[in-house]
């Protein structure tokens, strides 16, 4: 191995789980790799120490605040292990000349797959049926067919498009809400762009795939939930902050929704006292949408490549401007 002359902190708990090759590549290129020994994301106060003398970080959801970045004198690159950037103060990074990168093409198929799996589980009540059978009962759960059902997709980016294509294969009709209209894709897949209110009012399933920022925080709140059909389901595999969880709980208690499936939460993990745990018509998974062997392998390779390119003064694969 080359003599280490760069220090790389690993924040993401997923990095290296699918393959050790990107880790070995960093080391062979002259990087001293500092592992995450916490078993969770770094908090801001911990990063002030952990990033001392670090040239780079591979981050998941670590709290990279302006104060943290101001104290990281050597930091040159933040390599996001994924695509969500809401944990990074991008303005502070730009002000300090820190390059921020991401891995946008790595896991969109993985996330789209889980989204459709959750949709199918809701439609056919698979989890309650499994639990009933396991407990010795033989309840005959009545579900719904997907053909001609309306799926509303909020955010028709890479993941949203993947979900739309899968849903169309099941014969679903697709509505989409996005500030950018990819009319070519929409035409190819018979997708109709509509305003948010129309999507909420007409969809049987609503799936969130928007980025989380100041404009989309609590995009789905009490008023939006009130516009949904009482027979509709909400699915979120994007970011927990897109949904006002307190409003969602109230809508579920009042039976104004048929159910929900959440892979992401405002606070992760949501905790044993989360009111979301009380509902049999709510499916909860532990932020696993991107957790596939193939997706993680691609994400690891891209995250490592982004770091090495920046440290060598080369353009990264995917730079956040």
Residues classed as catalytic: 239, 268, 287
Half-sphere exposure of 153 (CA within 13 A, CB side): 30
Q: Is the dihedral of CA 82, 302, 52, 55 positive or negative?
A: negative
Which stretches of the chain are DSSP H helices?
21-28, 44-50, 66-71, 90-95, 108-124, 126-134, 158-169, 183-188, 196-202, 222-227, 245-253, 293-311
* Residue 145: strand, helix, or coil: coil
Alpha-carbon dihedral 87, 294, 265, 148, rounded to 10 degrees: 130
Burial category of 2 from C-beta neighbours within 10 Å (exposed 0-12, middle 13-18, buried 19 and up): exposed
Alpha carbons 273 and 289: distance in angstroms, whole number: 23
| DSSP label at residue 103 | -
Alpha carbons 89 and 206: distance in angstroms, whole number: 29
Asked whether 268 and 240 are in contact (CB, 8 A), the reply is yes
Asked whether 191 and 174 are in contact (CB, 8 A), the reply is yes
Nearest to 287 by CA among 317, 250, 262: 262
Residues 6+ apart with CB under 8 A from 78: 56, 57, 59, 64, 88, 93, 98, 99, 100, 101
Lookup: tokens for 177? 């809400």
How far are the Cα atoms of 43, 202, 228, 278 from residue 257, in angstroms, in the given order? 35, 13, 7, 15
* 221 alpha-carbon distance from chain centroid: 19
């Amino acid at each position: 191995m080359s003599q280490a002359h760069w220090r790389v902190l690993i924040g993401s708990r997923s990095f290296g789980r699918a393959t050790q090759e990107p880790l070995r590549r960093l080391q062979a290129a002259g990087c001293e790799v500092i592992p995450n020994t916490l078993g969770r994301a770094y908090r801001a106060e911990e990063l002030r120490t952990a990033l001392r003398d670090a040239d780079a970080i591979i981050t998941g959801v670590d709290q990279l605040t302006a104060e943290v970045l101001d104290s990281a004198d050597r930091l040159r690159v933040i390599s996001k292990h994924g695509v969500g950037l809401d944990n990074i103060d991008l303005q502070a990074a730009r002000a300090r000349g820190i390059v921020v990168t991401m891995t946008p093409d790595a896991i969109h198929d993985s996330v789209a797959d889980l989204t459709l799996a959750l949709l199918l589980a809701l439609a056919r009540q698979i989890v309650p049926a499994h639990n009933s059978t396991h407990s010795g009962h033989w309840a005959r759960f009545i579900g719904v067919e997907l053909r001609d059902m309306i799926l509303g997709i909020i955010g028709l980016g890479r993941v949203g498009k993947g979900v739309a294509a899968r849903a169309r294969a099941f014969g679903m009709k697709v509505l989409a809400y996005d500030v950018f209209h990819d009319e070519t894709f929409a035409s190819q897949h018979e997708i109709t762009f509509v305003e948010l209110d129309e999507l909420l009012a007409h969809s049987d399933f609503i799936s969130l795939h928007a980025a989380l920022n100041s404009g989309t925080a609590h995009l789905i709140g009490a008023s939006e939930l009130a516009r949904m059909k009482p027979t509709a389901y909400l699915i979120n595999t994007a970011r927990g902050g897109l949904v006002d969880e307190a409003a969602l709980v109230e809508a579920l208690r009042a039976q104004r929704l048929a159910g929900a499936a959440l892979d992401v939460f405002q606070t992760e993990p949501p905790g044993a006292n989360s009111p979301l745990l009380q509902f049999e018509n709510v499916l909860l998974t532990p932020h696993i949408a991107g957790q596939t062997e193939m997706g993680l392998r691609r994400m690891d390779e891209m995250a490592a490549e982004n770091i090495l390119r920046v440290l060598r003064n080369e353009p990264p694969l995917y730079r956040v401007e």
